[in-house]
């Protein structure tokens, strides 16, 4: 399908799905490079050690090679031969799903906008770790852009991309992801938007809305490695003052993945952005718990569980335990669930910036927040050649 038609279809789909919001002004959609846009390759390894396939499994669970996939950044495609050779050199047996034998399940590779790589071996066990370590210097010599390398353990026989245990294979654990004025940090297990070009536009646009709203306080819920929170902290600062530490805006980022929070904190420190704090918590209980704490009702959240009885509830996160003026949400496809109801009944929150990768759950969540008016919306084509897109909406109470 011609790219212009893809974009027009996505725009129409978003407008139709959100047709219940007549006050919504749609801005021009943000286009992406139509190929080579994906910064991460998730390659299931099949075949044999000598002749591995890197790609997907077919219906019979046999490997299908997709190393030339056109949506991958070309800098990922060009390293695939070296990675396939490494499978043979290190004697890594691809995991065979039908017989449940073998060790190497996936290769996960991310490329930064600067061309550096994060490489992860998803393994059934530690059996092949010594051989990976032994041959890694040769791979690093061949691919000097390899910055972070790790092994992830997925011992169970299940259709998952990765397991919980991560073993670093080298000193570096951070891949810097430079997106315009923002430098984000990616660690092996954190989520990152898959299209760096469009992610840069997404954070910049959200930052423009925050600069325009100019709230004293912002919560970024589902903050991942902190793209929206850091953009919100910098929003409205000019280039000169952005160099100086300190922001008058109080920003809190909440995310369930501790790895992502560690990356967000490290990016804030590296860029000298203070006034922004990141905490690992479940946003759906953390936000209502914090707000309840402010009104004196008992708080029932992990984030507040360490607060001594009778002690001020703000000890863990001073002074942001009162609801903020603006909330940014960027949830997984299922949407924000109970947070829609919390936003609806929390009058301190005057505006919401909602970034959604699923316009159906976005429409459902907005229907649960009738006190807010959707003012502006924008389709950002994060996923060309697929029916998916990112939709950014600005809501005001
Ligand atoms: C679509 S990603 C967005 C991440 C981030 N805003 C960004 O731009 O990279 C959704 C994030 O929500 C996190 N998440 C999922 N459920 C959560 C919850 N209940 N509370 C907090 N974070 C959650 C995931 O770990 C993931 O990082």
The rounded distance, in Å, linking the Cα atoms of 391 and 202 is 9
Which residues, in sequence order, are bridge partners of residue 53?
46
Radius of gyration of the chain (CA): 22
The rounded distance, in Å, linking the Cα atoms of 184 and 370 is 34
Q: Is 357 a catalytic residue?
A: yes
Catalogue all structural domains in the chain, each as residue range(s) with its CATH number.
3-34+179-396 (3.40.50.150), 40-172 (2.40.50.1070)
Q: Where are the beta strands (DSSP E) in 206-305?
A: 217-221, 250-255, 276-280
Q: Is the CB of 222 under 6 A from ligand 1?
A: yes
The rounded distance, in Å, linking the Cα atoms of 279 and 300 is 16
**Structure confidence at residue 237 (pLDDT):** 74
**Greatest CA separation found in the chain?**
65
Please give the distance, rounded to the nearest whole angstrom, from the Cα atom of residue 254 to the centre of ligand 1: 8
Token pair, residue 287, equals 């936000």
Tell me which of 191, 228, 254 to substitute to probe ligand 1's pocket, judged by most ligand atoms within 8 Å of the beta carbon.
191
Three-state DSSP class for 397?
A: coil
Q: What is the mean pLDDT of each run of 10 residues along the chain (397 residues)?
A: 97 97 96 98 98 97 96 98 98 96 98 98 97 98 98 95 96 96 94 97 97 96 98 79 60 96 97 94 93 46 34 41 94 97 97 98 98 98 97 98
**Structure confidence at residue 292 (pLDDT):** 58
Give this complex's ipTM: 0.99
């Amino acid at each position: 399908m011609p790219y212009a038609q893809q974009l027009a279809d996505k725009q129409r789909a978003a407008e139709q799905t959100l047709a219940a919001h007549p006050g919504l002004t749609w801005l021009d959609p943000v286009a992406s490079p139509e190929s080579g846009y994906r910064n991460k390759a998730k390659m299931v390894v099949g075949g044999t050690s000598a002749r591995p396939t890197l790609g997907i499994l077919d219906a019979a669970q046999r490997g299908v090679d997709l190393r030339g996939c056109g949506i991958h950044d070309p800098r990922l495609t060009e390293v695939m031969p070296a990675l396939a050779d490494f499978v043979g050199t290190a004697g890594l047996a691809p995991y065979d799903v039908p017989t449940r034998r073998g060790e190497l399940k996936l290769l996960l590779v991310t490329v930064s906008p600067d061309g550096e790589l994060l490489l992860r071996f998803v393994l059934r066990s530690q059996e092949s770790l010594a051989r990976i370590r032994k041959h890694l210097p040769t791979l690093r010599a061949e691919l000097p852009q390899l910055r972070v390398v790790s092994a992830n353990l997925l011992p169970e026989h299940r259709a998952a991309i990765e397991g919980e245990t991560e073993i670093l294979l080298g000193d570096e654990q951070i891949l810097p992801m430079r997106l315009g004025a923002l430098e984000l940090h990616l660690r092996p297990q954190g989520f990152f938007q898959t299209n760096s070009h469009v992610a840069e536009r997404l954070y910049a646009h959200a930052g423009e809305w925050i600069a325009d709203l100019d709230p004293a306080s912002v919560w970024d819920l589902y903050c991942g490695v902190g793209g929206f929170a850091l953009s919100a902290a910098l929003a409205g600062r000019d280039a000169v003052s952005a160099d100086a530490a300190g922001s008058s805006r109080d920003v809190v980022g909440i995310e369930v993945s501790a790895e992502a929070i560690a990356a967000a904190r490290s990016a804030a420190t590296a860029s000298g952005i203070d006034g922004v704090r990141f905490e690992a918590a479940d946003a759906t209980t953390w936000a209502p718990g914090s707000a309840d704490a402010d009104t004196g009702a008992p708080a029932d959240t992990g984030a507040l569980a360490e607060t001594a009885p009778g002690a001020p509830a703000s000890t863990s996160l001073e002074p942001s335990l009162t609801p903020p003026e603006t909330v940014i949400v960027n949830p997984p496809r299922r949407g924000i669930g109970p947070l829609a109801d919390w936003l609806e009944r929390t009058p301190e929150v005057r505006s919401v910036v909602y970034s959604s990768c699923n316009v159906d759950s976005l429409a459902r969540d907005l229907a649960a927040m009738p006190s807010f008016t959707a003012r502006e919306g924008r389709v950002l084509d994060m996923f060309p050649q697929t029916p998916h897109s990112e939709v950014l909406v600005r809501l005001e109470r």
